[in-house]
Amino acid sequence: MEVIQSFIQELQQETLATKKLFNVIPEHKLTWKPHEKSMTLGQLANHIAMLPGRISAMASENGMDVKNARFQPPQPESLPEIVNTLESSIHNATETLQQWDSAKAFGIWRFTNGEKELMAIPRVGVIRSIMLNHLYHHRGQLTVYLRLLDVLLPITYGRSADASPTD
């Protein structure tokens, strides 16, 4: 199905930008966080890495009850652990999405809090908003963490303040 293939292609393309950022994470700073209420650098990177696999699996179900959710990402021990999590997550998301037909893709997925329905949207909407847009949001957050640590940022789109495509 075309819409699912476009999501898979987008996910695979965006993984390249994510890996560029993961490659500059200072491993000795994985437990650093910019604020007491923030995730650590490692938790944030791990959350980004886990998103595609977890969200595609979640979207394959009929819905999710927020009462059963676990929103605290684990603290990774190393950068290779994060990269391996990303690789596995992308693989799992791709395999999951390739199994969807039109009925599955456009079927309604529900987000609830017990008996209260918070959202009801087609599964393709879950992939666009909760998987892809959510991933981009946290990847942008990761660039702020890295900037605060004085890490030179690679190009993700066009250029960065530290690099140009013509360099």
Position 158 scores a pLDDT of 84
> How many angstroms separate the CA atoms of 124 and 102, rounded?
10
Q: What is the pLDDT of residues 126-145, one digit of tens each?
A: 999 999 999 999 999 999 99
pLDDT tens-digit profile of 37-59? Answer: 999 999 999 999 999 999 999 99
Q: Helix or strand or coil: residue 111?
A: strand
pLDDT in tens, 77-108: 999 999 999 999 999 999 999 999 999 999 99
Residue found under tokens 């963490």: 145
Phi–psi pair at 50, nearest 5 degrees: -80, -25
Q: Residue 6: pLDDT above 80?
A: yes
**Class for the domain spanning 2-148:** mainly alpha
Dihedral in degrees, nearest 10, Cα atoms 113, 71, 137, 153: 180
How high is the mean pLDDT of the chain? 95
Assessment of whether the complete model's pTM goes beyond 0.85 = yes
Q: Which long-range contacts (CB under 8 A, 24 or more apart) does 147-150 make?
A: 148/34, 149/26, 149/29, 149/32, 149/41
Give the three-state DSSP class for 107.
coil
Crossing angle, helix 2-22 and helix 79-98, to 10 degrees? 180
Query: What per-residue confidence (pLDDT) applies to 39?
Result: 97
Q: What tens digit of pLDDT does each residue of 137-167 get?
A: 999 999 999 999 999 999 988 888 898 777 6
> In the prediction, which pLDDT does 164 show?
79
